[in-house]
Amino acid sequence: MIMEKKDKVKGCSQSSSNATSLEEDIVQEYFRAVEGGDVGKVEEQLRKEPSLVHCSLDLVQGNGHSHSLRQSGLHVVADRDDVKLAQLLVAQGADLLARTSSGATAIHSGAAAGSIQVLRYLLSVDSGALNLLDHEGATALHLAVKKKQGESVRTLLELGASINLAMFDGSTPLHLAAALGFYDVTQVFFDVKPMESRAVVLAARDAQGMTVAHRAAMFNHWNLLSWLITQKCPVNAVDNKGRSVLVLAAERGAWDAVSELLHGAADPLILSNDGKNFLHQVVALGGDPQIFKEDMQQNGDFTLVLKGRDLGGYTPLHYAAQYGFGRCCSTLIKLGALVSAKGHDLMSPLHMAAQHGRSNTVKLLLAYETGQQSINDADHFGRTALHLAAENGHQKVTVLLLSKGAQLLRDVSGCTPLHLAAVHNQTGIMEHFISRHATQLALVDNGGNTVLHLAAKHDSAQVFTMLLDAGLPLTFNDQQLSALDLAILNDAHSTMTALVDNPRWKEALLQPSSLYACSGLVDKFPDVMLRALDRCQTTEEKASSTGRRSWIRHDYQLLQPSVEAQADDQLWRTSWRGRKDPLMLLNRMVACRRVELLCHPVCTSYLEGKWLAYGLMFQVVRLSLYVTFLTLLTYLILEGIEMDLRPHLRQVSLQRLSKYRPDLVGGNRTRFGPLQLTVQQGGVTAIDQTLLAFVLAFALFHLLQKVAQCLRQGLLYFVRLRSMFEVTLYASTMLFSIGFYDVQDDYMSWQSQWLLGAVAIFFAWSNLFFLLQWYGQLSIHVLVLLRVMKTLTEAMMVFFVVIVAFAITFYTLYPAKILPDDPLFYQRDHGDDSLGDIYFSSYSSLQTAILRVSDQMIGDADVIVNFISPIYNGFMYFPTLTYMLALTSILVVTILLQAVVVSDLAIPCRLCLLRSCQCGGWLSIPWL
C-alpha cells in the first residue's frame, strides 16, 4: 500500500487557504483512511476538517524512486475504483479537475486503472472533463490504451470520448494501440465506432506523417496489420519521408509485416524520398529477396523492383554488395539483377564491395562473367575497384583483384592505386605493391608527383619510409618541388621525422630545392633539424699503442654543401643554397631565433672553424682600418680644438667683454685672464693634409657604400637605426674635414664646422662600441648595455606622463629659493656673486624641472643639494609638501625603473647568443 509507511510521505500541499495550518499527521491519517476504503473514518475526518478533501501528497512509488505524483484523495479513490468514497468526496466538494504533477485528473487515473464504476460516476458528474489533456497532451482514452485497459477504452468511447485528439507527437489513441500491438484494444475502437468514421481514423497521421498501419508495421505487429488491411486501411499512404507502409516495414526489418503487406495488395513500386523501394531496404539489412518475390507473385512485376534505382542510381544489388551480404547478392543475381549495373557516378556493385572491403562479395561477383568483365571499369572519377580497395586499405580485396587481372590504371588526376595507397598511409597494401609491382613505383600523376611525393604531402610517414627503403629515386614534380618541399609545405611533421631517421636522410636533405630544403626545417620543424644535426655528429674510436682513442667527428654538409656537389647539379643555381647570401642556413637560424640550433656543437664548431679560417683575418683588418680612422679623426679633433676652436671661443669672449665692459680690457689681459686676440692663420700643415685625406677617403668610401645600399634597398634601408647612424657618422666626418680647408670661413662657418665635428667624434666612438659586439665575450657586455639603454628609452617614453607630473609639481612648489627667516644668515657677508646663487633653484623653470626629474629617473636624485640643504637652511617656502613629493618620486620613479631594468637583464643573454652567432656580422664583409 502506498500509505503504509510514514517515511514514504514526501510533503503536503493544500489547495485551500483554510487547510494551510493542518498538521502533517492529520493529512497522513486521512490518506490512510482513503487508501483503506474506510468510508466511516473518512467521513468523520472530513466532518472535523472539511479542508482535507482538498489536500494532496507527494508520494513514493516503486523501489523508493520518487515520481512526484502529488495525488489528491479523489485520485487515490479512482485508482481503487471505490465508487462510494468517490461519491462521498465529491459530495464534500472534491475538485474533479484537480491534477497530479503530470497533469492527470481523477478521470485520467480511473481510465488508466480500469476503474469503470468510478469512471462512469465522475463523468456523470462532469461530462466536460472527458477529453481533458495532461501535460503530454494525452486524454483519458490515451492512458487507457497505454495501460491496455480495454473496458476503460470501451466505456470512454461509449461516453463520447474523441478518438481524433492527438498527443503532442501527433499520436491518436489508435496510433498508440497499433504501435503497442494491442490487437484487442484496437478492435474495441471499431466495435464501438460506426463504420463511416473508420476511414477517417485509419487515415489519421501523426507528426511524422504516419498512419495507424505505419505504426503497426514498423514494430512488426503483423497480425494487427493483417486485421487493419481487412478494415481497408490505406496501406499505400506515405509519411513525411515518402515511405509507404511497405518501405517502412522493410527499413525496420519487420519481415512478417512485409509479407503481410505484399499479400495485402501493397504497391511494391512506391519509392521513398531518397528513391529507394522496399527491396533496397530489405537487402540493406540482409533479408532474403527470394521470400518476398514469392510473396508478391500476384501483386506486381518483381523485375521492376529488382532493377529499381534510388536517387544515386543504385540498385538493390549495390546495397547488398556494399554491406557484404554475399548470400543476398547471389540470390539477387539469380533472380535477374545485373552485376554490371552502374549508378549515376558509374559505380558498379564491384566498386561498392571493393570500397567497403567485402572480400567474399568481391569473389562472388568476379565469379560471374559480367563481373570479371567489369573488373577494370572506372567510375566518373576514373577509379577502378582496385583504386577504391587500395585507397581504403583493404589489403585482402586488393590482392584478390590483382590476382583476378586488375590493372594499375590511372584515374582522371593521373593517380594509380599506388598513389592512393600512399596518400592514405596504407602500409600493408604498399608493402604488397613494392614486393610484386616495384616497377610501377616510378609512375607519376598529372602533376608529375611520384608515390613518394604524395606520401610526403599527406604525412604518410610509414609509407614514406617504406618507399625510401625500397630505393625510390628522389625526383622533382612539374613545379620543381621535391618530396621534402611538399612535406614542409604541408606541415608533415611525422614524415620529416621519419626522413631524418632514415639511412637516406642526407641524400634527401642535400637535394637542391628552389623552395625550402633545410631552411624549411629551421622555419617550421626546428626539432627535426636538431635531430638532423645530431646525426651530423658521430663518435669514432681507434686503437693505439697507448690505448683506445676516441674523438667526435662533425659533418658540415648540411650547413654548407661541397663545391663539387653544387657544380654537379644545375638546380643549385636557382636553389636556396645557390643564392649569394653566405651561410644562409645559419643566418636563417638567427632570423628565426633558433638558439637551440645555433648552440648545437655542429653549428658552433663550424662557425669557429670559419672564424679562424678567414673570418678573424677579415674582421681584424676591418677593425684595424676603423681604429686607424678613429685615431686620426680624434687627433684632428684634439689638435683643432687647440689650434682653431679655443682661439675662436676666446675671441668671442673678448668681443663680448669689449662690448659690455670696455674699461676692463687692456692689452691682452683682463680681469678674467689673458685672451688671445687672433686665430692662427697658418692653414693646414702637410702632415695634417695627409691625415685629412685619409679620413676623407675613408668617410667617402663608406658613404658611397651606404648610398649604393640605399639605392638597392630603397626606404627599407633606413628602417635599421644602425644605417642612419652610419650615414650620419660619415657625412658629418666629411663636412667637418672639408671645413679645415676653408680657412677664411667663406663656405662654412667655424661654428657649423665644430658642431659637425662634435657629432662626428661622438658617432665615431659610438660606432666602435657597436663593432665590438661581434667579438667573443665582449659582445655580452655590449649587448647588455644596449639592452639596458633600450629599456631605459622605452621606460622614459612610457613614464613621460609621470615625469611631467612631478616636474610641474616641483616647479609649482619650488620655483625659486627664498631668504631664510634666520638672523644669523643676515649677519654673514655673502658677497654679490654668492648672494645671486642663493635665489637659484633646480626647478626655477619648467625646462629645468623636466630635466631634473628625468635625471632622477636614471638614479641621480642629488637629494642633498636639491632638497635636504634648502629645507634645512630655510630656502624653501613649502618644505613639507615638497619633501613628501620628493620621497614619492624616489620610490615610484627611481626604484621602479631600476627594478624594470634589472628584471630585463635576462633577455640579453639570449639575444647575445643570436647576435654573436649571426653569420652576417662574423663572416660576411659588408663593403664587398
Predicted confidence (pLDDT) at residue 410 exceeds the cutoff of 50: yes
**Which tops the pLDDT comparison, 152 or 790?**
152
| Residue entry with cell 504533477 | 101
Q: Dihedrals φ, ψ of 667, to 5°?
A: 65, -130
Lowest mean pLDDT among 130-144, 191-205, 269-283: 191-205
What percent of the chain clears pLDDT 70, i.e. is strictly above it? 78
The Cα 879–Cα 860 span in angstroms is 21
Please, which pLDDT band fits residue 676 given cuts at 50, 70 and 90?
very low
Predicted confidence (pLDDT) at residue 158 exceeds the cutoff of 80: yes
Question: How far is CA 341 from each of CA 272, 286, 311, 319, rounded to the nearest angstrom?
Answer: 21, 20, 14, 12
Most confident range, picked from 80-94, 778-792, 822-836: 80-94
Predicted confidence (pLDDT) at residue 578 exceeds the cutoff of 90: no
The confidence score (pLDDT) of residue 740 equals 80
CATH number of the 408-579 domain: 1.25.40.20
**Which tops the pLDDT comparison, 572 or 828?**
828
Predicted confidence (pLDDT) at residue 571 exceeds the cutoff of 50: no
What single string gives the DSSP state of each residue in 460-509? -HHHHHHHHHTT------TTS--HHHHHHHTT-HHHHHHHHHSTTHHHHH
For residue 893, what is the DSSP state? Answer: I
Candidates 454, 429, 432, 427; CA nearest to 443 is: 454
| Residue entry with cell 502529488 | 70
- Which alpha helices (DSSP H) does 814-845 contain, by range? 823-827, 831-838
The confidence score (pLDDT) of residue 803 equals 76
The Cα 354–Cα 342 span in angstroms is 15
**Which tops the pLDDT comparison, 623 or 321?**
321
The confidence score (pLDDT) of residue 845 equals 73
In this structure, the chain runs to a length of 928
Instruction: Give the pairing of strands 55-61 and 547-554.
Output: unpaired
3-state secondary structure 188-252: HHHHHCCHHHHHHHHHCCCCCCCCHHHHHHHCCCHHHHHHHHHCCCCCCCECCCCCEHHHHHHHC
Lowest mean pLDDT among 19-23, 42-46, 831-835: 831-835
The confidence score (pLDDT) of residue 473 equals 92
What is the rounded average pLDDT for all residues in the chain? 81
**Which tops the pLDDT comparison, 411 or 788?**
411
Candidates 459, 402, 387, 392; CA nearest to 432 is: 402
Lowest mean pLDDT among 33-42, 288-297, 857-866, 903-912: 903-912
The Cα 163–Cα 157 span in angstroms is 8
The maximal CA–CA distance of the chain, rounded, in angstroms, is 149
Beta carbons within 10 angstroms of residue 790's beta carbon:
13
Average pLDDT over residues 512-516: 73
**Which tops the pLDDT comparison, 785 or 648?**
648
Choosing among 3.40.50.10300, 3.60.40.10, 3.40.50.2000, 1.25.40.20, the CATH entry for 1-162 is 1.25.40.20
The confidence score (pLDDT) of residue 908 equals 53
Predicted confidence (pLDDT) at residue 579 exceeds the cutoff of 60: no
The Cα 215–Cα 233 span in angstroms is 12
- Which alpha helices (DSSP H) does 525-643 contain, by range? 526-535, 563-567, 584-591, 595-598, 601-610, 616-640
The confidence score (pLDDT) of residue 775 equals 67
DSSP E strands, 776-837: none
Lowest mean pLDDT among 297-301, 575-579, 736-740: 575-579
Give the predicted TM-score (pTM) of the model. Answer: 0.71
Lowest mean pLDDT among 234-238, 317-321, 407-411, 564-568: 564-568
Most confident range, picked from 307-311, 678-682, 853-857: 307-311
The Cα 916–Cα 910 span in angstroms is 10
Q: Please name the residues in contact with 417: beta carbons below 8 A apart, sequence gap of 6 or more.
A: 384, 386, 387, 389, 390, 391, 398, 408, 429, 433
**Which tops the pLDDT comparison, 4 or 669?**
669
Helices 616-640 and 750-771, packing angle to 10 deg: 150
Average pLDDT over residues 37-57: 81
Most confident range, picked from 350-354, 620-624, 762-766, 889-893: 350-354
**Which tops the pLDDT comparison, 72 or 388?**
388
The confidence score (pLDDT) of residue 569 equals 44
**Which tops the pLDDT comparison, 59 or 492?**
492
**Which tops the pLDDT comparison, 121 or 719?**
121
The confidence score (pLDDT) of residue 910 equals 56
The confidence score (pLDDT) of residue 923 equals 46
Predicted confidence (pLDDT) at residue 416 exceeds the cutoff of 60: yes
The Cα 141–Cα 777 span in angstroms is 96
The confidence score (pLDDT) of residue 698 equals 92
Candidates 752, 638, 617, 708; CA nearest to 630 is: 638
Give how far the C-alpha of residue 722 lies from the chain's centroid of Cα atoms, to the nearest Å.
Answer: 39
Candidates 505, 403, 512, 419; CA nearest to 457 is: 419
Please, which pLDDT band fits residue 778 given cuts at 50, 70 and 90?
low
- Give yes or no on whether 1-162 and 408-579 have one common fold: yes
Q: Please name the residues in contact with 694: beta carbons below 8 A apart, sequence gap of 6 or more.
A: 628, 629, 632
Q: Give me the sign of the Cα torsion angle 333, 335, 336, 341.
A: negative
Average pLDDT over residues 47-67: 66
Q: Over the stretch 223-251, which tens digit does the pLDDT of each residue have?
A: 999 999 988 899 999 999 999 999 999 99
The confidence score (pLDDT) of residue 9 equals 39
Predicted confidence (pLDDT) at residue 337 exceeds the cutoff of 90: yes
Q: Please name the residues in contact with 445: beta carbons below 8 A apart, sequence gap of 6 or more.
A: 410, 413, 414, 415, 416, 419, 454
**Which tops the pLDDT comparison, 27 or 597?**
597
Please, which pLDDT band fits residue 561 given cuts at 50, 70 and 90?
low
Candidates 140, 145, 174, 176; CA nearest to 160 is: 140
Query: What are the structural domain ranges in the chain?
Result: 1-162, 408-579, 611-775, 787-913
The confidence score (pLDDT) of residue 411 equals 94
Please, which pLDDT band fits residue 6 given cuts at 50, 70 and 90?
very low
The confidence score (pLDDT) of residue 680 equals 46
The Cα 214–Cα 244 span in angstroms is 8
Please, which pLDDT band fits residue 833 given cuts at 50, 70 and 90?
very low
Average pLDDT over residues 173-197: 86
Q: Over the stretch 122-153, which tens digit does the pLDDT of each residue have?
A: 888 888 888 999 998 999 999 999 999 999 99
Predicted confidence (pLDDT) at residue 205 exceeds the cutoff of 80: yes
Q: Over the stretch 721-744, which tens digit does the pLDDT of each residue have?
A: 778 888 899 999 999 888 887 766
Average pLDDT over residues 698-722: 83
Question: How far is CA 655 from each of CA 21, 237, 365, 675, 745, rounded to the nearest angstrom?
Answer: 115, 121, 119, 10, 18
The confidence score (pLDDT) of residue 346 equals 95
Q: Over the stretch 600-612, which tens digit does the pLDDT of each residue have?
A: 999 888 888 877 7
Evaluate whether 45 touches 52 at the Cβ level (below 8 Å).
yes
The confidence score (pLDDT) of residue 898 equals 60
The confidence score (pLDDT) of residue 774 equals 66
Question: How far is CA 335 from each of CA 62, 305, 324, rounded to the nearest angstrom?
Answer: 56, 11, 18
Where does residue 491 rank: exposed (0-12), middle (13-18), buried (19+ CB within 10 A)?
exposed
Q: Over the stretch 172-181, which tens digit does the pLDDT of each residue have?
A: 999 999 999 9
Which cell is 615 given?
673570418
Average pLDDT over residues 742-763: 82
